[in-house]
Structure 1
Amino acid sequence: MNKILFSFLCVLNLLWSVDATIDLIKTIQKTPSIQVTYLDNKNANYARNIYKVLLGDLKVSGHFLVTEGEKSKTNPNYTEFVQNKTDLFVNIEVLREESGIRAIVRLYDINMQNLVLNKAYTLDDEKLYPFVAHKIAIDVNEYIKAPSIDWMKRYVVLSANVDSGKNDILISDYTLTYRKTIINDGLNIFPKWANAEQTEIYYTKIIKNYPVIIKYNVYTGVSTEILKSKGMAIVSSVSKDGKRLLMTLSPNGDPDIYLYNIESGEKTQMTKYRGIDVSGNFIDNDTAMIFVSDRLGYPNVFTKKLEENAPIEQVVFHGKNNSSVTSHNNYVVYTSRETNNEFGPNVFNLYLISTQNDFIRRLTTNGVNQLPKFSDDGDSVMFIKNSWNQSALGVIRLNYNKTYLFPLSKIQIQSFDW
């Protein structure tokens, strides 16, 4: 491995080395109570798997008071549910067929004493059952006309460390219950969804000690080389229309931010600094960017209009190590080192700010919280949390003051996109 590439990896290791607090906004007047059960038949094990994920989905939505009902053999006893102040009842039945499994979901409105949803979800690959649960949660959520939770059915793409000099690219659901390796041929890092439809990704592949940006279709397996650069080559942000990229490149040794046009192949250098400029993210309707730079002597967050000679302005005035950042429209989440412990782990918390005003909220309270990523709708933030007793993938529901953690079992994530 050449010296520039080695330095690049070391810098990245340093740069990326629980409570939401924004105001609560709800469109539903009363949080409905819901009980979830599954039918006790010969396929109960499959139903139980869906049931367990669905319970979590309904809790994570923030729109339900969830009661675990386990197995059920009969239709709901409306009188009993009314006495227990239960508003909704869900029962899952799974049938085993030659083509796969079919999950039948029945949703009863207890107050109306009526079956309001009777829907079948077919699945040819049993391992995809978490997405059946996510789709059920979305349908139940739509019935009560709560704010959308469509983000639950989106894939997460991630790079996982599997061995020295080897990283695989995987896709998963947001709980990491479903995982599938799609690229496993060497050092593959920094995956990024290439479009809103999640059919293609960009990622960096190390080939003969050079980082190469690859575009990969997750359905056809077709790969296209975009460009390569000495030392560093990373896609950090994709414009809403998918036609422009913000890249970190270091052709002359110092990493800088470049704006890349997919159709023409033209790239424009956005920063020129003899130091570290990385992690460019589109903001303000793709007219500007935020990025991380050490131009103050430590990692901090800056902003710049997408014009070559536009001025660069400091965004964050809190903390002494603001090493990772994500954006959605006019909102930014960044990490901030809260302690300065020379002989032990430091606390890194996440903060939410706006590019339009002085708004600031702390989102986490303890541990090492890194690599924040906004959901597609901007209502949630996913991140990696490391504490003294566990590592987890976290989801912060910004409008509901809730954080949910999914333990990272036998997997070490280098980077991910949602």
Structure 2
Amino acid sequence: MKTKIWILTLLLVLATGESVRAAETLSVDIFGPGQSRVNILVLPARGAGGQPATNLARNFGEYVNGDLGFLPFLRVAYLSEVLGGDPSKGVKAEDIDFKPLQLSRIDLVMTISGAGQDIEARVYETFTRKLLVGKAYSQVDQSGVAHVADRFCAQLMRVLTGKSGFFDSTLAFSKKVGGGKELFTASALGRGLQQVTHDGGFNVSPSWSKDGGKLAYTNISDLGHRLGIWDRGSRVSRLRRFPGNIAISPTFTPDGQIAISLSLNGHPDIYLLDADFRPGKALAPSWAIGVSPSFDLSGRKMVFCSGRLGGPQIFLLNRDTGAVDRVTYDGTYNTRPSLSPDGRFVVFARMTGDGHRIFIRDLVANQERQISFGPGSDEDPSFDPDGYFVSFASSRGGGTKIYVTTRYGDPARLIPTGPGDAMAPAWGVATALN
């Protein structure tokens, strides 16, 4: 049973008179061309009334430090970098000597205090001494402290960047179970890992509905290919068969329909299913394969993989005009595209002489760059809900695991998914599992 955590959303105007004016102080443009890093220092946790910090408060600080390490626009500073050591006597602005922090080029400083099952956390901008984020949490226990740290970091990211999709999202992915594969879900930090399908066979290629309420996927077994739909409300999966021997790479459109590659005419084409799961006309039909559809938030743009010009390449369908444009020209094997929510960027896997690597193409600037660098092979890229982070599967550490980078190619971080291979990550909104 989940521990109920009461989050007292106090913006900590608490008895200090401190105002929250983040918009007028420090902000970070994570989508800008130059990625500057902001230095943040998390001060040691304190107890109430000069008492030693509780284990709960210390653990909260440890989780926050770990969470912040996933944000490449932040650099977590060490206390040893500050002249004279800890410049604080308490957790409020009047308790902090900001001058040593300013001289040490610390941009943000975070204080933590705890008493019993209560935790308070504040982040100040050191040059203005203004409170950017302040939260108080009560009835927290050890089983819920990681979740509280994640929520706090989501709020901090939202204040700094206007986005928090990384912390407010859920990953679905395929993992080996026995002789087959089943689908699992976890937070973007790897927390709350759980198996959600028990279909047997190989369950692959998950895709979230926009509201996070359903997962579409492919089940492959002795019965052939079937479309799977997992419903988070009932926590039940249903499988459907189609004519032909192929039913792969199902994807939800923003309006809740499903696009799927079916072999109704002897080769795979992408079809849009109606409410009764009946396929309509093929989208971007061709004599060659058409697989792996991915849509922008408008649902009017669709990228996909096709062999219509020889080897597999990435193409873009304008659903309003029916025009199909080629996206990739370099490489002879480009697969598994994912379109950013704004429709501007496509990430995909390309086979290189060193293995598969993840590339990104700017459809407006018509520029392309590599954003993963191995070792091993990097495949199955997927954009997060903000179009900033990119998850992918990689064999760089032995076996296959899930990693996350950004669309700028920042150093990849491992997402903990437990023992066994994990692959084919797909992002969805976190409320799906709340």
TM-score normalised by length of structure 2: 0.73
Deviations 1:139-198 (A, max 9, x none): 22344x434233322111112111213x22211111324312222342332221112x32
User: Which residues of 2 match residues 160-199 of structure 1 at below 5 A?
Assistant: 160-165=175-180, 167-187=181-201, 188-195=203-210, 197-199=211-213
Query: Could you say what secondary structure the match of 2:166 adopts?
Result: helix
Query: Unmatched 5+ residue regions in structure 1?
Result: 1-21, 340-345
Matches within 5 A, 1:2-401: 24-25=33-34, 31-39=38-46, 44=55, 46-68=56-78, 75=90, 78-79=96-97, 81=101, 84-93=104-113, 103-111=119-127, 117-121=133-137, 129-143=145-159, 145-165=160-180, 167-187=181-201, 188-195=203-210, 197-206=211-220, 209-225=223-239, 228-242=242-256, 244-251=257-264, 253-262=266-275, 265-283=278-296, 285-306=298-319, 310=322, 312-328=324-340, 329-339=343-353, 346-367=354-375, 368-387=377-396, 391-398=400-407
SS at match of 1:169: strand
Distance 1:232 1:416, change over 3 A: farther
1:403 aligns with 2:411: yes
Residues 251 and 208 (structure 1 numbering): CA distance in 2 closer, same or farther, change over 3 Å?
farther
Change (3 A) 1:148 1:318: same
Q: Given the superposition, is the C-alpha separation of residues 349 and 223 from structure 1 closer, same or farther in structure 2, using an over 3 Å criterion?
A: closer
Deviation readout 1:10-36 (Å, 9 max, x if unpaired): xxxxxxxxxxxx96256x8x8343325
- Deviations 1:119-139 (Å, cap 9, x if unpaired)? 234688965654432221122
CA distance in 1, matches of 2:352, 2:345: 21
Q: Is the 8 A contact 2:197 2:230 kept in 1?
A: no
Q: Secondary structure at the match of 2:135?
A: strand
Tell me how far apart the structure 2 counterparts of residues 36 and 263 of structure 1 sit (CA, whole Å).
Answer: 57
Distance in 1 separating the partners of 2:67 and 2:207: 25
Q: 1:67 to 1:302 in 2, by over 3 A?
A: same
* 1:155 alignment partner, SS class: strand
Post-superposition shift, 1:246? 1.7
Coordinate RMSD, CA, aligned: 3.6
Structure 2, unaligned runs of 5 or more:
1-30, 81-85, 428-434
SS at match of 1:337: strand
Distance 1:312 1:176 in 2: 38
Letter in 1 for 2:263: S
Counterpart secondary structure, 1:132: helix
Letter in 2 for 1:181: Q
- Aligned 8 A contact 1:37 1:68 in 2: no
Partner amino acid, structure 2, of 1:37: P
Q: What does residue 11 of structure 2 align with?
A: none
> Which residue identity lines up with residue 368 of structure 2 in the other structure?
I
Code of the aligned partner of 1:337 = M
Query: Distance in 1 between the 2:308 and 2:43 partners?
Result: 54
Q: Which amino acid aligns with 2:41?
A: I
Q: Deviations over 1:293-324 (max 9, x none)?
A: 233442221233438x9464432111121122
Return the letter of the residue paired with 2:420: I
Q: Given that residues 151 and 375 in structure 1 are in contact (C-alpha distance below 8 angstroms), is that contact kept between their aligned partners in structure 2?
A: yes
Query: Aligned in 2, Cα 1:306/1:115: closer, same or farther, shift over 3 Å?
Result: closer
In 2, Cα distance between equivalents of 1:263 and 1:39 = 59
Whose relative contact order is higher, 1 or 2, with alpha carbons under 8 Å and at least 6 apart?
1
The CA distance in 2 between the partners of 1:81 and 1:231, in whole Å, is 65
